[in-house]
Structure 1
Amino acid sequence: MFYLPPRSPELNDIELVWRQAKYQDYPQRAQTSIDAIGEAVDRAMTRQRDRIRQSATNFTRAA
Structure 2
Amino acid sequence: MDQTVRGHLHAWLRTRDGQWLGYVSYLMMGPTGVGALRMQHTVPADAVYPRRPGDRTSPR
TM tier relative to shorter chain:
under 0.3
The structure with more strand, counted as a fraction of residues: 2
- Would you tell me which structure has more helix in proportion to its own residues? 1
User: Normalising to structure 2: TM-score of the pair?
Assistant: 0.24
Point out the structure with max Rg over C-alpha. 1
